Structure formats: C-alpha cells, structure tokens
C-alpha cells in the first residue's frame, strides 16, 4: 500500500520534471544536478534547502546526499528556481503542495505534527518537574 | 553435516536456556543449594553451544556451501575471504544468530566471573538472562533458521550487497551487538535485584562493569558506523538522522544516563529507583533498535529482508520483556528504600540534571524516529529528519554540555554556590573569549556552530579541571577515564561544529587537464583509468592535488562496479591533514565528455571520530580503574583472612 503510493508519487514527480524540463531534460540535469550555482550566496541557499528535502526513492537520504537520478533531477530543479530568484521558502511550499509533507525533513507545524513538535517541550517540563520534586523532597 | 550440527547446537542451547529458567525459579522458591549450584555450569554450556552454532555458520560461509539457503542468498564463491566470513552476519538470520551468540557468551561470563553479588540475586539474574535468550532462540528456530538447506544446491550464490563489502562489516555489527547485549545483562541484573529486593550499592557495583563495557562498545560502534557511512556514501555527510542510526543512538543515550546514575548508586547509595528504571529503559531501547532494524518496517541497507511475520515476532518479544519488566518494577519499586539524600547544589544534583537532559534527548530521538511510522499507520506520510533534531535536540545538547562542564567540579552531597562560581570562572572566560573571536573572524558561520565551538572550548578546559592540583600518581584511573571521556565530548563537538561552519564544497564537471579549487587546494583531473579488483572493476579518476607551492600529490577516487549483485558504488578518496580532510569523489561522465567531480575541504572534521574514540578510551580507563580497585579490595580481604587464620 505504502509502496504503491510511493511509486505513484515517483511517477508523478518524474512526469512533472519531464514537463518542466521542456525540450531537453538531460541538458538541464547536466547543468545543475551535479554542479553548483555560480553565485555562492544562492548556492548556499539552495544547499540548505536541498539538505532538508527527502530523496523520494532513497533509503532515508536527503537529495543533497544521493546519487539517485531522481535526487539529481530535484537538485537541478531547486537550483534552477533559486537561480531564477525564487525564495527557498516558496520552492519548499511548491514541493509540499505537490508531493505532500513526505518530501521535507522539516515537518511543517499543523494539527498532524503538533504532538511531534510539542513533545520536546512537554518532556522537558515533565522531566524538570520530576527532578525538582526529587531534589526538594530530598532536602527536607 | 556442518549446518545440521549448528542447528542441533542451537536446539540444545535453547533447551538449556529453558532448564536455566526452571532452575532459577525453583532454586529461588525452594532455596535449594544444589539447584543454585547447577545454574552456573548450565549458563556456561549454553554459551558454548551458541558459539558452536555461530562457528558452524561461519564455516559454511567460508566454504561457500551453496546447499545452505542462507549462503546461496547472501554470498558468492568469488569474494574475498574476509567478506565471506563477515558475510555470515551480513544478513538477517546470521545477524540474529550473532546476537544470540553474544547473549549466550555474556550469560556464561556472568556465571563465570561474577563474585560480588549475593547468591540469590545472581541466580535471579541468570534466570532473567535465560528468559531473554529463550525468546531469541524461539525467534531463530521458528522464524529465521539460518541453517535451512536448499535443494538442489545452486552453482553460485546471489552475492553480498556491495555497500557491505568493506572491512567495516567485520567490525561494526559485532561491536554494536556487544553493546546491545551488555545492556541486556544490566537489565537482567536489575530484574534480579528487584526479584530479591536487593537494590543497593552492591548490586550497582556488580552491574557497573557491564554498563561501562556495553557503553564502550556502543560508543565505538556508533563512531565507526559514522565514519563508514562518511567515506562510503560519497557526499561527505557523517550523520543522517536515519532511523537505523537513531536505533543505535538511543541505547547509547540511555546507557550514558545509566552509567552516571549507577555511579551515584555505587558510591553514594542514591538514585536507587531511577537507576533500576534506566536499566529497564536502556534494554528497551536496544530491543526497539533491534525491532526497527530487523523487522523490516524500515527500508535501509540494514534491513536485509522485509518480512512482516518476523516484525510481529520481535514486536511481541519486545512487548513481553518490557511489559514484564515494567510490571515487576511497578510491583516492587515500593519496597526499594530511598537512598541517601543530597542538596540542590551537589554532584548528585548535577548528575540528576545530566540524566534529565539525556532522557529528554532520548525522548526526542525516540519520538522523532517513531512518529513517521505511527503517522503512516493513520495514512499520513511525513518525514522527520535533521532540521527537526537540530531545532529540538540541539539546544538541549548545548545545555547538557554546560552541566557536563560544571558537574565534575561539584562536591558530593552539598556544595557552596559561591565557591562553584569561582571554580567555573576560567572555563566560562575561555568560552566567552572563543565566542567573541569566532564572531569577529567568521561572522557568517551561523549561530549554532559558533555556540558549539565556544562551548567545546569551555568544556575542554573544564573537563581537565578535576585534575588541577591533584597528585597525579595517586589519582585513580577512573578519574582519568572521566576526564578523557568528557574531553572527548568537547573534541567531538568541536569537530561537528567546525564541519558545519567551515566546510567548503565544490561540485563541478571537468575535462582532462582542467582544474577546480576547493579550500586551499587546486585539483586537476589528469585522466581516468580502469582498475580491477577481486570481484569488481572500477574507473578511477586521477586527480593531481596541489596546495600553494607544496609538492603535488595524487588522489584516485573510484566508481566501482560489482556484478553479483549488479551495483555501482562510489569509493571516495580522502586525504587527512592535521587540520582537516580533503574528500574527493568521481561521478559519472556527462554527455559532453566532462567528468563529474565532487570535492570537499572539511577543516577539523576528523575531530568528530577522534572525540568518539577518546570517549570510548575514557570508558575503558574507568572500567580498568574500577576493576583494579575491586581486585585490590579483594586481595586485602584475603590477606586479612589469612592473617586472621594464622594469628587468631
């Protein structure tokens, strides 16, 4: 079930890239899949974004750490868009809109992820309360 | 015949484990001395039988006996001998057999060497150990038999995943398993002490070497695994927050907390309930780790086969053990008397804080790892990775470093806040100075890396402070161990922060003769050449590397092709200098004939693994130190006995 969904996502994604890459898909991949942007500041932005995007066909790697073709396509797309002046935030939102939260390692805060994001705080408060209680009781 | 002998040994070992459980139960109930005496030899023979089964499996792998299904599926006759032998645990069944073997040998070692513990507690401990073993024997014999035959025998095997064909395979799994299993022994001690209501310093002293040993191996396993991933995956990353990595990090975090609380219990008789609880948690984490890796709920290079039945089996075992232990804990914890008390400003309070922060980090890693799996159950697909852990666990790790710096400078039981402030002045000054210098020199390094480096500098000074004005000759080894391990944390954090702040990356495509620059190095692609290995062929890029006016040197990263199974791997070429590593990778050839080349200059990245090794070595020093002290005490007691016998 999960696997089918994943395969579907990959097919859709590949299709999407084929369309955006227009006439010659390989040319675009060659340009930016394995090559940095000339502008160092833009490259740094792209790099930071790529670190937090999941390679959809890999085993728990970001697109910045993967040799998979799909990861290469996604890197090329991210660099293209950043070079064209889009903000990393917009690129991320564009990707999430199309491929769901699965594509980002930085899950956006919403009702589905609220328990995840609030858990550290709850743990810290509960633990602190427990420790404080222990120490105070011991002092008496 | 060899395979059948192995299977028979496994069945006998399982039968002995059952006997061991029965003996322990009866001996405790009937207070029968003969039964108590029988437990030790049973545990030892059980361990030997396990080792025999493992030896049989290694033999069939070494002989490439293709009539054994496991060998056919995971090995190949054309493969270096090292990988044939290590390949015995480079698969699901074999790695579970290795788990059980180490478990059996650990039980035998407890039976052979444990002399401090009260007899009844030891009996209960060995009984608990046999209960754990029994579950895993059942798992092996009923759901993952490593010795199953294949008929007719195949001509050649399907080969071992080339990513695993690395010397790392010979070391990484056994090291981690020794760590996991060591925690199972600590767990058995805790269960034994709960059963006989014997939670106290004596129990803590018996348990401590096992916790320390397990922790040393986990530290080594994680450090080595991280370096393996770093050079094998070819993108310069050394930690990916992959669920499988987290599966090894969680037991380590729990073991670190346990290590510190068991010391409080052994030396100050405090934190009794908390220590027992942590022992249960630590073993639970190694079970959850095993479950995550072995059940196939994750796809990863570690999950050799996806089989839901096995996952269910391990999940049931996990629930039984942890549920049982927690039930026992709940039932008996009321009988554990409260230990010694301490003040708000004291070494004990520092250790409580350390335990608290470690547990919170553990909780974050656990939730971050399991959340996507649980969400998937509800039909929600999401990913949790580096950004989440950086944002949540990062700040807590910094706070933990503060505690780590101050804790060892506190006195036991009660300390004066004013005096403590005086003691931390110098480390604090060093940290602030480091932060100011870094902000001035490298304003764009980012807040977290700068904080990390500044904290590391302060921690480095603070961690050696306990040796200040001490007679070094009379200082016990375990103090040196603590100092070295804490210094190792500072070193490792400095490496991590330096890597994320100062790494320079160059991704490019070069024609022969073209040059790219990364950091202080000029790298020229001179050409490519074919290379042939025992079971692979490769294209190697010939890179001429020059730094300023220094003599140039050659680096040869490869693209390696394996035929069984057909796979391509990157073999990065790495050069280590005192101030960092130059990391080079050869990629594919582009349509226009240029070769993709990936270059990284990573200043001081090696400190990460040097720090890891220092932490493990510190643990080893502490272990030896405690053992020396135990031996000395025992010798003194014996001398006194002899003297008393002669004169009284």
- Residue A1's pLDDT band (boundaries 50, 70, 90)? very low
**pLDDT average, residue stretch B35-44:** 88
- Residue A37's pLDDT band (boundaries 50, 70, 90)? confident
Three-state secondary structure along chain A? Answer: CHHHHHHHHHHHHHHHHHHHCCCCHHHHHHHHCCCCCCCHHHHHHHHHHHHCEECCCCCCCEHHHCCCHHHHHHHHHHHHHHHCCCCHHHHHHHHHHHHCHHHECCCCCCCCCHHHHHHHHHHHHHHHHHHHHHHHHHHC
- How far apart are the CA of A72 and the nearest CA of chain B, in angstroms? 12
More confident residue, B418 or B295: B418
User: What's chain A's average pLDDT?
Assistant: 78
Q: Say yes or no for a CB contact (<8 Å) between A120 and B507.
A: no
Residues B198-232: tens digit of each pLDDT: 888 888 988 999 999 999 999 999 999 899 889 88
Please tell me the predicted confidence (pLDDT) of residue B543.
Answer: 95
| Residues of chain B positioned with their CB less than 8 A from the CB of A107 | 382-384, 388
Whole-angstrom distance, CA of residue B41 vs CA of residue B35:
11
Whole-angstrom distance, CA of residue B449 vs CA of residue B458:
14
Whole-angstrom distance, CA of residue B80 vs CA of residue B62:
10
Question: A47: nearest CA in chain B?
Answer: B505
Q: Say yes or no for a CB contact (<8 Å) between B243 and A61.
A: no
| Residues of chain B positioned with their CB less than 8 A from the CB of A60 | 240, 242-244, 298, 300, 385
Whether the CB of B412 is below 8 Å from some CB of chain A: the reply is no
List Cβ neighbours of B176 (8 Å cut-off, separation of 6 or more): B217, B218, B221, B222, B225, B248
User: What's chain B's average pLDDT?
Assistant: 88
Residue B457 clears pLDDT 50, i.e. is over it: yes
| Residues of chain A positioned with their CB less than 8 A from the CB of B364 | 119-120, 123
More confident residue, B410 or B294: B410
Q: What is the helix (H) or strand (E) element at residue B324, kind and residue range?
A: helix B308-332
- How far apart are the CA of A60 and the nearest CA of chain B, in angstroms? 6
- DSSP per-residue codes, B473-533: GGS-HHHHHHHHHHHHHHHHHHHHHHHHHH-EEEEEEE-TT-EEEETTEEEEEEEEEEEE-
Residues B132-153: tens digit of each pLDDT: 999 999 989 988 888 988 888 8
Q: Say yes or no for a CB contact (<8 Å) between A102 and B383.
A: yes
Give CA separation, B55 vs A29, A45, B166, B209, B243, in Å. 50, 53, 21, 27, 31
Residues 140-169 of chain B whose Cβ lies under 8 A from any Cβ of chain A? none
Looking at the domain A2-103, which fold is it? Helicase, Ruva Protein; domain 3 (1.10.8)
**pLDDT average, residue stretch B569-579:** 91
Residues B334-379: tens digit of each pLDDT: 777 667 777 778 888 889 899 999 999 999 999 999 998 888 878 8
More confident residue, B534 or B339: B534
Q: Say yes or no for a CB contact (<8 Å) between A102 and B392.
A: no
Give CA separation, B339 vs A133, B101, B462, in Å. 15, 37, 29
Please tell me the predicted confidence (pLDDT) of residue B168.
Answer: 75
Please tell me the predicted confidence (pLDDT) of residue A30.
Answer: 55
Q: Say yes or no for a CB contact (<8 Å) between B381 and A102.
A: yes
Please tell me the predicted confidence (pLDDT) of residue B65.
Answer: 85
Residues A102-131: tens digit of each pLDDT: 899 999 898 889 999 999 999 999 988 888
Q: CB B472: neighbour CB atoms within 10 A? A: 8
- How far apart are the CA of B342 and the nearest CA of chain A, in angstroms? 6
Q: Say yes or no for a CB contact (<8 Å) between A106 and B375.
A: no
Residue B477 clears pLDDT 60, i.e. is over it: yes
Q: Say yes or no for a CB contact (<8 Å) between A59 and B393.
A: no
Residues 326-355 of chain B whose Cβ lies under 8 A from any Cβ of chain A? 341-344, 349, 352-353
Domain boundaries, chain B: 1-165, 504-603
Interface with chain A: mutation pick from B360, B510, B588, B598, highest number of A CBs within 10 Å: B360
Whole-angstrom distance, CA of residue B513 vs CA of residue B13:
64
Residue B43 clears pLDDT 60, i.e. is over it: yes
Domain boundaries, chain A: 2-103, 109-140
For the record, the structure tokens of B354 come out as 């350390």
Which of these, B254, B300, B222, B272, lies nearest to B609 by C-alpha position?
A: B222
Please tell me the predicted confidence (pLDDT) of residue A140.
Answer: 46
């Amino acid at each position: 079930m999960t696997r089918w969904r994943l395969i579907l996502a990959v097919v859709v994604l590949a299709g999407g890239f084929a369309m955006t890459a227009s006439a010659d898909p390989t040319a675009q991949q060659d340009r930016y899949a394995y090559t940095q942007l000339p502008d160092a500041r833009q490259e740094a932005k792209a790099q930071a974004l790529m670190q937090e995007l999941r390679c959809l066909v890999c085993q728990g790697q970001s697109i910045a750490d993967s040799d998979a073709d799909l990861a290469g396509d996604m890197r090329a797309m991210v660099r293209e868009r950043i070079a064209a002046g889009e903000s990393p935030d917009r690129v991320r939102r564009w990707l999430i809109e199309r491929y769901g939260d699965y594509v980002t390692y930085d899950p956006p805060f919403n009702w589905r992820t609220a328990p995840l994001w609030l858990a550290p705080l709850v743990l810290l408060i509960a633990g602190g309360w427990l420790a404080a209680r222990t120490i105070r009781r011991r002092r008496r | 015949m060899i395979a059948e002998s192995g299977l028979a040994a496994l069945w006998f070992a399982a039968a002995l484990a059952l006997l061991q459980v029965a003996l322990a139960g009866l001996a405790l109930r009937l207070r029968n001395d003969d039964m108590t005496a029988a437990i030790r030899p049973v545990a030892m023979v059980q361990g030997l039988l396990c080792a025999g089964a493992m030896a049989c499996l290694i033999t069939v792998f070494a002989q490439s006996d293709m009539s054994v299904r496991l060998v056919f599926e995971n090995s190949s006759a054309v493969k270096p001998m090292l990988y044939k032998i290590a390949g015995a645990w480079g698969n699901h069944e074999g790695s579970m057999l290795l788990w059980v073997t180490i478990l059996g040998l650990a039980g035998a070692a407890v039976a052979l060497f444990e002399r401090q513990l009260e007899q009844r507690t030891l009996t209960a401990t060995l009984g608990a150990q046999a209960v754990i073993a029994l579950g895993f024997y059942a798992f092996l014999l009923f759901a993952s038999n490593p010795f199953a035959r294949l008929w007719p025998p195949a001509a050649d095997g399907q080969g071992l995943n080339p990513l695993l064909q690395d010397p790392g395979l010979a070391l990484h799994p056994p090291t981690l398993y020794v760590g996991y299993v060591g925690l199972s022994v600590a767990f058995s001690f805790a269960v034994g002490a709960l059963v006989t209501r014997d939670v106290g310093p004596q129990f803590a002293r018996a348990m401590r070497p096992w916790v320390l040993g397990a922790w040393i191996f986990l530290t080594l396993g994680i450090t080595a695994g991280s370096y393996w991933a770093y050079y094998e995956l070819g993108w310069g990353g050394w930690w990916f927050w992959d669920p499988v990595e987290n599966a090894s990090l969680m037991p380590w975090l729990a073991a670190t907390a346990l290590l510190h609380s068991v010391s409080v219990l052994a030396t100050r008789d405090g934190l009794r309930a908390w220590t027992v609880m942590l022992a249960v948690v630590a073993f639970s984490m190694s079970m959850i780790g095993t479950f995550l890796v072995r059940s196939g709920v994750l796809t990863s290079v570690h999950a050799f086969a996806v089989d839901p039945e096995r996952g269910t089996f391990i999940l049931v075992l996990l629930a039984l053990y942890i549920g049982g232990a927690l039930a026992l804990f709940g039932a008996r914890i009321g009988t554990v008397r409260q230990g010694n008390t301490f003040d708000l400003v004291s070494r004990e309070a520092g250790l409580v804080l350390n335990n608290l922060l470690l547990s919170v980090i553990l909780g974050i890693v656990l939730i971050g790892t399991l959340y996507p799996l649980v969400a998937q159950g509800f039909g929600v697909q999401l990913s949790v990775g580096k950004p989440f852990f950086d944002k949540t666990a990062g700040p807590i790790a910094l706070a933990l470093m503060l505690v780590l710096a101050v804790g060892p400078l506190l006195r036991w039981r009660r300390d004066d806040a004013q005096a403590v402030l005086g003691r931390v002045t110098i480390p604090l000054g060093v940290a602030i100075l480091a932060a100011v210098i870094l902000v001035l020199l490298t304003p764009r390094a980012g807040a977290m890396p700068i904080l990390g480096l500044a904290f590391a500098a302060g921690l480095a000074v603070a961690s050696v402070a306990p040796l200040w004005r001490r007679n070094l000759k009379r200082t016990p080894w375990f103090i040196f161990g603590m100092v070295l391990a804490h210094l190792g944390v500072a070193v490792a954090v400095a490496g991590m922060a330096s890597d994320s702040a100062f790494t320079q990356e160059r991704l490019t495509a070069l024609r022969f003769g073209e040059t790219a620059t990364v950091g202080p190095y000029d790298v020229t692609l001179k050409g490519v050449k074919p290379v042939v290995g025992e079971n692979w062929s490769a294209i190697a890029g010939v890179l001429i590397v020059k730094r300023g006016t220094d003599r140039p040197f050659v680096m040869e990263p490869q693209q390696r092709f394996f035929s069984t199974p057909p796979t391509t791997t990157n073999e990065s070429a790495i050069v280590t200098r005192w101030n960092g590593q130059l990391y080079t990778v050869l990629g594919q050839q582009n349509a226009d004939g240029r070769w993709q080349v990936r270059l990284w200059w990573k200043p001081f990245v090696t400190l990460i693994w040097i720090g890891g090794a220092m932490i493990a070595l510190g643990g080893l020093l502490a272990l030896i130190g405690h053992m020396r002290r135990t031996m000395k005490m025992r010798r003194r007691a014996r001398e006194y006995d002899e003297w008393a016998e002669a004169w009284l």
